[in-house]
Structure 1
Amino acid sequence: MLVSSVGMGDELPVGGRPIGVEECERRWEGWGPEQVFARLAEVSAPWGVVGGWALDLFGGGQARVHADIEIAVPRAAFGEVAAVLRGYEWDVVGEDTVWAYADVADHPELHQTWLRDPATGKYHLDVFREPHDGDRWICRRDNAITLPYTELIETGPGGVPYVIPEVVLLFKAKARRAKDDGDFARTLPLLSRHRVARLSEWLARVHPGHAWLAALAARTPVGER
């Protein structure tokens, strides 16, 4: 349920209100990956689970408790996701602030979009509206990092789509909370030589000198997952 930092400072849109960790913890009741998959069955646009759940799907089993669940979709395809989730409402969050989706939907720096049950006020799904060029995903942290969606998204147990671990870890590297370090440590032994090399390259570009780079350099990958 991380409320992303978008680096806008005083340029935040008007009309938002502060939202803190305590409120987030109280209001989040995240669906499981299988629930999300079932609810988005009619969505034809590419989407995939991100965050800690994505690493669990890659690893083949749940490694820890998750307070929320996040998915990534092409920004232009968000309407297709919203259409199959009728009856819910959407909020946009960033910089510890929350806005009604209708008020800031077109703001280019705001991407994190929370699904809210209007009856209970609970949040169940966090949708990242990601930049893209047609069928190619573009990294928000460095637009030179780009992949076709066919390479960005793989399929986990039960057919649930998830974003590849090297991309998930690249985004987790910024916050480096205890759970992020734990996710990295659990996932590193599962990464193939190709995934290690790609994550190392991207991490050096986006976060030069990051502590995970030494562990990646020392890793001798086994297999080619």
Structure 2
Amino acid sequence: MRNDFNNWMPLSVAEIYSLYSKMGIQWGIAGGWALDLHLRKQTREHSDIDVVITREEHLTAYDYLNQDWMLYKAEKGKLSLWEDREFLYTTMDIWVSKSSDTPFVFQMMLVDTEGDSWVYGRNKSIKRPFDDLFLKSDEGIPYIRPEIQLLYKAGSSQVRDKDYRDFRTILPSLLPQEKEWLKSSLSLQFPEGHDWIKFL
């Protein structure tokens, strides 16, 4: 088990693209990098880099990555090795490094689907057609849609300062329908209200 949670030397977006484009699965950049790809510029420093795949295809990703990388399940504040071809029923987050004592280089996040729809894990009534989950940069790099990425940031148990800064940075570029979807989704998850709703 590892506990060096801050030991990061993240791959670049280009390196992630080179790695994942060979897997034959659906994937996209997530987190702050996804928002920067949408804005076509880097707006801040990023301490890590996140990739989204579906739970349906996570064993395909395991088979490909396990040849060269160490894969750790992140659950309840702990990291443990992803056992050989173990099906992950509830794990949402995988941390990846080259060896057991080298820095982490990217996180892989698993999202659930129902039929042709993406399902938001924190409130399963929030769904989108899976084909709507990703956009592509000018270079052809897939990334999670900004309003969906913002829902993940806003819907966390702890909204960090950088999440709020990301929200304020990208807000002027959101289309009316993207704002409305985020507003309605936040209202579903937080019927008592959420700080971001007044800006939408």
TM-score by length of 2: 0.90
**Among 161, 164, 167, which residue is 2:148 paired with?**
167
Percent of pairs identical after alignment?
Answer: 26
Distance change (3 Å), C-alpha of 1:104 and 1:112: farther
Distance 2:59 2:49 in 1: 19
**Among 193, 202, 211, which residue is 2:195 paired with?**
211
Matched residue, 1:11: none
> Is 1:150–2:131 an aligned residue pair?
yes
In 1, are the aligned partners of 2:70 and 2:100 still within 8 Å (CA)? Answer: no
Aligned length: 196
- Comparing 100-109 and 191-200, the one that deviates more: 100-109
Aligned pairs for 1:64-143 (under 5 A) are: 64-85=44-65, 86-102=67-83, 105-118=86-99, 120-143=101-124
CA drift at 1:139:
0.8
Unpaired runs of at least 5, structure 1: 1-16, 217-225
CA drift at 1:120:
4.4
CA drift at 1:103:
8.0
Cα deviation digits, residues 94-149 of structure 1 (max 9, x gap): 22111111189445332101112116422111111111124421110111112222
Matched residue, 2:159: 176
Matched residue, 1:46: 26
CA drift at 1:51:
0.7
Unpaired runs of at least 5, structure 2: none
